[in-house]
């Protein structure tokens, strides 16, 4: 590879040909502020728009300042990042953005997480010098998941990169011209009328409050203070390795016990671990996979735990609705069991039971409202909080999460195995299913429960698991763009897989759109994943079918896995949707 030599702030630097000024500066410890730039190198996600001009630098011999995130280093280039001209240019870029930006920082959902706000502080912006007309677009709150406020859009195009290049959903793009330019759906349609999957990755990368989640904290507080309601809560696997970041704890810190304690502090009537429902999902999903293999059913079978992925294939591949598993997600399975089995056990009227979920995913909010997942006109899940929203509730209540003693979840629907924990990361669902399917297909005990060949962070992975003389071929994809490639192979008859796991978000649920913002730091995702596997190893039972509480649920209530009662309560159907 060719090496290029240059000078930055008088310091000699050598970089590979094709490197940008920004990359070269980082190599020698020179900080250049950025805003529109986004580089999630571990996932191959790079925003190359260079629209904000917050990173401009002075290049010797040029009249115009150069955007360091896009300008490539050339042989002999002399760069100044610290000249008065460069600093003034960067400050002016921020001031111009602020001149057309709402001044509601104190009540903005992104307050203290806003990169424009942080950059204004870094650049010493203390006044807005240019006052004039501002955009006045209506705020879109039409979905159960997302809020889109075009007035806070700075045209960085990060969300567009995520939606089009990474997720290949194709909903967001630059619309209008000049002063009125914003990023949004074609014709500035409301989000509910588009093919948006509500994965929330646009929210995860938006540097301002232009894209945020629908906030349900107030509704949860009201439910908790309504004496006529019995409020039940469940917590997803990925929450326990991320929520600590909101309280100054290291990424990847496992906080299962603190989560249980915090939920009791807030006054929930029953607290359950969604891990139980993940084990339940495996009982149904593994049964379905074994049934398809043994009875010549449709293969490959695709997992169906991720609601953003489900909505993606309903819009993009409506001719293939018979391929995914018919299993509901763990969130909905838990809600179903709470409003049937648990309500009956406790002598409760399901209409007076409020099921609250704490999820890493904004699509879970929309999933809870799907009519296909309701029973007797009652939603199985009533309210969904993101990890960030639950963290905000704890801050409001003055709960010092990082010093809480460890507590326990209720056991009726709370016991879980290591197989359930790994649902939180890419590859985890199919590994959990393989652990159970192996024993069911062979009748032998699986001694080595970790399938290392199914693990990693590559966007598309494949592996084989030998089950006696049968080779089970498994595909794994995270990120909807990668999912598209696997689906196109299936459609074209090129797929050799028996089972495929899909997760919409890069990294899986640990990188969900409702998790603490990682600001493009791939190391945070890696630490969360490592913590998930550590939690699995700490469990006494590591196969879903070994869950004793689950055995009781089947013997007392559900009957056989994949049986008639299980189908009624734990399985669903899919809907062909327009590709808009």
Say which of 288, 314, 431, 546 is annotated catalytic: 288
**Catalytic residue flag (residue 556):** no
Contact 387, 360 (CB under 8 A): yes
Strand order in the sheet with 383-386: 270-273, 230-235, 353-359, 383-386
CA 140/CA 190 separation, integer angstroms: 6
**Catalytic residue flag (residue 364):** yes
CA 576/CA 117 separation, integer angstroms: 42
Say which of 509, 527, 535, 544 is annotated catalytic: 509
Q: Is the bond preceding 29 in cis, omega lying within 30 degrees of 0?
A: no
Query: 3-state class of 344 per DSSP?
Result: helix
CA 217/CA 240 separation, integer angstroms: 19
Q: Where are the beta strands (DSSP E) in 292-411?
A: 301-302, 353-359, 383-386
CA 72/CA 448 separation, integer angstroms: 49
**Catalytic residue flag (residue 509):** yes
How many CA atoms within 13 Å lie on the side-chain side of 115?
Answer: 24
**Catalytic residue flag (residue 288):** yes
**CB-neighbour burial class of residue 548 (10 A; exposed 0-12, middle 13-18, buried 19+):** exposed
The candidate with the shortest Cα–Cα distance to 397, out of 245, 221, 570, is 221
Say which of 71, 160, 285, 501 is annotated catalytic: 285
Contact 1, 18 (CB under 8 A): no
Contact 367, 334 (CB under 8 A): no
Q: Tell how strand 270-273 and strand 230-235 pair up.
A: parallel
**Catalytic residue flag (residue 367):** yes
Contact 485, 458 (CB under 8 A): no
Contact 111, 105 (CB under 8 A): yes
Say which of 245, 284, 367, 431 is annotated catalytic: 367
Contact 43, 504 (CB under 8 A): no
Say which of 14, 75, 351, 372 is annotated catalytic: 372
CA 348/CA 333 separation, integer angstroms: 18
Contact 557, 342 (CB under 8 A): no
Say which of 152, 328, 339, 364 is annotated catalytic: 364
Q: Where are the beta strands (DSSP E) in 45-108?
A: 45-47, 56-59, 66-67, 78-80
Say which of 325, 416, 495, 544 is annotated catalytic: 325
The candidate with the shortest Cα–Cα distance to 458, out of 521, 512, 522, 519, is 522
What is the H or E stretch that residue 285 is in? Answer: helix 274-294
CA 398/CA 128 separation, integer angstroms: 35
Give the catalytic positions in this structure. Answer: 285, 288, 305, 325, 364, 367, 372, 509
């Amino acid at each position: 590879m060719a090496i290029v030599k240059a000078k930055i702030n008088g310091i000699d630097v050598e970089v590979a040909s094709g490197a940008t000024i920004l990359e070269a500066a980082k190599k020698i410890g020179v900080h250049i502020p950025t805003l529109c730039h986004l580089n999630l190198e571990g996932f191959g996600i790079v925003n190359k728009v260079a629209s904000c001009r917050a990173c401009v630098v002075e290049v010797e011999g040029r009249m115009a300042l150069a955007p360091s995130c896009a300008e490539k280093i050339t042989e002999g280039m002399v760069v100044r990042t610290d000249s008065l001209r460069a600093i003034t240019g960067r400050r002016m870029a921020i001031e111009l953005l602020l001149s057309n930006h709402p001044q509601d920082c104190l009540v903005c959902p992104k307050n203290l997480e806003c990169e424009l706000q942080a950059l204004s502080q870094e650049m010493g912006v203390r006044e807005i010098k240019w006052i004039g007309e501002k955009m006045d677009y209506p705020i879109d709150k039409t979905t159960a998941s997302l809020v889109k406020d075009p007035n806070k859009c700075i045209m960085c195009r990060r969300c567009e990169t995520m939606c089009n290049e990474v997720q290949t959903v194709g909903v967001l793009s630059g619309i209008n011209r000049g002063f009125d330019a914003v990023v949004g759906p074609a014709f500035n349609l409301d989000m509910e009328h588009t093919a948006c999957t509500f994965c929330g990755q646009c929210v995860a990368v938006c540097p301002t409050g232009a894209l945020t989640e629908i906030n349900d904290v107030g509704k949860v507080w009201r439910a908790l203070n309504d004496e006529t309601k019995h409020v039940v809560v469940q917590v997803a696997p990925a929450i326990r390795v991320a929520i600590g970041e909101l309280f100054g704890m290291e990424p990847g810190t496992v906080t299962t016990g603190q989560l249980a304690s915090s939920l009791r502090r807030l006054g929930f009537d029953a607290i359950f671990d969604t891990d139980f429902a993940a084990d339940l999902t495996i009982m149904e999903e593994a049964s379905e996979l074994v049934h398809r293999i043994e009875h010549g059913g449709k293969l490959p079978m695709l997992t169906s735990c991720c609601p953003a992925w489900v909505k993606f294939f309903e819009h993009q591949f409506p001719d293939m609705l018979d391929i995914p598993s018919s299993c509901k997600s763990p969130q909905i399975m838990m809600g179903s069991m709470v409003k049937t089995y648990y309500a009956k056990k406790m002598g409760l009227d399901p209409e007076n039971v409020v099921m609250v979920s704490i999820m890493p995913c904004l699509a879970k909010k929309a999933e809870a409202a799907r009519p296909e997942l309701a029973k007797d006109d009652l939603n199985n899940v009533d309210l969904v909080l993101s990890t960030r929203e639950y963290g905000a509730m704890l801050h409001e209540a003055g709960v010092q999460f990082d010093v809480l003693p460890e507590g326990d979840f209720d056991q009726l629907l709370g016991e879980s195995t290591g197989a359930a924990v790994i649902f939180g990361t890419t590859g985890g669902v199919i590994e959990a299913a393989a652990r159970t399917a192996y024993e069911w297909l062979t009748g032998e005990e699986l001694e080595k429960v970790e399938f290392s060949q199914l693990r990693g962070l590559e966007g598309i992975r494949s592996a084989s698991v030998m089950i006696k003389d049968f080779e089970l071929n498994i595909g794994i994809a995270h990120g909807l763009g990668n999912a598209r490639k696997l689906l196109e192979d299936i459609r074209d008859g090129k797929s050799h897989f028996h089972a495929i796991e899909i997760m919409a978000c890069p990294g899986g649920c640990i990188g969900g759109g409702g998790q603490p913002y990682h600001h493009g730091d791939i190391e945070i995702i890696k630490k969360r994943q490592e913590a998930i596997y550590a939690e699995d190893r700490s469990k006494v039972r590591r196969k879903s079918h070994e869950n004793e509480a689950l055995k009781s649920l089947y013997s007392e209530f559900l009957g056989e896995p994949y049986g008639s009662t299980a189908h009624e309560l734990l399985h669903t159907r899919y809907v062909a949707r327009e590709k808009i």
